[in-house]
Amino acid sequence: MSFEIIPGLSQIAPDYNGFILDLWGVVHNGHAPYPGVLVCMTKLREGGKPIILLSNAPRTNGFVIEFLEKMGVTRSFYDHILTSGDITRQVLERRTHKLLEGVDQKFYQIGAIRDKGLEDGLAYSRVSSIAEAGFIICTGLVNDEIESPDDYLPLLQQALDLDLPMLCANPDLTVMRGQKSIYCAGSIAALYEQMGGRVELFGKPYPEVYRQAMGKLGIGDAKKILAVGDSMRTDIRGAAGAGMDSVLVGGGIHAEEWGLKSGQAPSADQIAAIAKLHDVVPTYVIGHMVW
């Protein structure tokens, strides 16, 4: 097992031609950018090196761009953005996915009002009763501040009785909003699958989103791309599967379990333990993404 704990990206960035950055837990905490992040992003782009923001947000990229603009992460700090919502919409557009074969184009959405844009302009209709639906799109919890996946057990049982397939537009189990951990769509999808439901997830760590990210960066050699993320399960596993070096940001989703203060990097023993648990090893480890 080999990884290196580093104080900043300045010592390794020259070795790469482009960068994949996660959003939640890396660039921002749901409310504001982390200290030093915007300076770091500016430095990464020097010399024309491109940045793509790769997010498991269950919305198409236009809505995420608006969200980032409001917190001061303008288009000047990155070149491209790709979301799990974008991948889900592509699946809806093509209608070739096995779970959509022969199903009614009416769907029931599990998620918040803000999770929108997936079906805009397409020949689908959202229904208010699961009994009317041909399939489910899960974008998250309706109120992730107070709900847990178990609150959806009766609904999921009804969906299972109807044998409804589920498309999950965000594979994340949890995410940090400020200092609070909240459940994401992946936690509901995992519960439905455990119950016996048919589920397909889109985004990180699955290969398609990395294939598209490489295309947008215009870099064919995965070893010349550095992926930065805070989740072993999605970011680090996804980068490893794509053949990319990775940086684990310790101040994100795993910070609470490690008992870390803001900006503090985990210890080598903590990294070794979590790498063993997830059976994947980051190339580098950092407290927060700073230059």
| 66-103 exposure pattern, b = at least 16 Cβ within 10 A, e = fewer | ebbeeeebeeebbbbbbbbbbbbbebbeeeebeebeee
Cα–Cα distances (Å) from 187 to 151, 153, 168, 200, in that order, read 12, 12, 10, 13
- Distance, in Å, from the CA atom of 56 to the CA atom of 171, rounded to the nearest integer, reads 7
pLDDT at residue 197, rounded to an integer: 98
The series of mean pLDDT values per 10 residues for the chain, 291 residues long, is 92 97 94 96 95 96 95 97 97 94 94 88 94 97 95 98 98 82 94 98 97 98 98 97 97 86 87 95 97 97
4-56+205-286: CATH superfamily: HAD superfamily/HAD-like (3.40.50.1000)
pLDDT at residue 268, rounded to an integer: 94
Q: Is domain 87-201 classified as CATH 3.30.497.10?
A: no
Question: pTM of whole model > 0.75?
Answer: yes
Phi first, then psi, for residue 288 (nearest 5°) are: -130, 165
pLDDT at residue 1, rounded to an integer: 64
Domain with CATH 3.40.50.1000 in the chain: 4-56+205-286, 87-201
- Distance, in Å, from the CA atom of 279 to the CA atom of 79, rounded to the nearest integer, reads 32
Does residue 40 come out as left (phi exceeding 0), alpha (psi in the -120 to 50 range) or beta? alpha
Within 8 A by CB and 6+ apart from 68, the residues are 23, 27, 28, 53, 74
* CA-CA-CA-CA torsion sign (271, 274, 277, 282): negative
CB of 170 within 8 A of CB of 84? yes
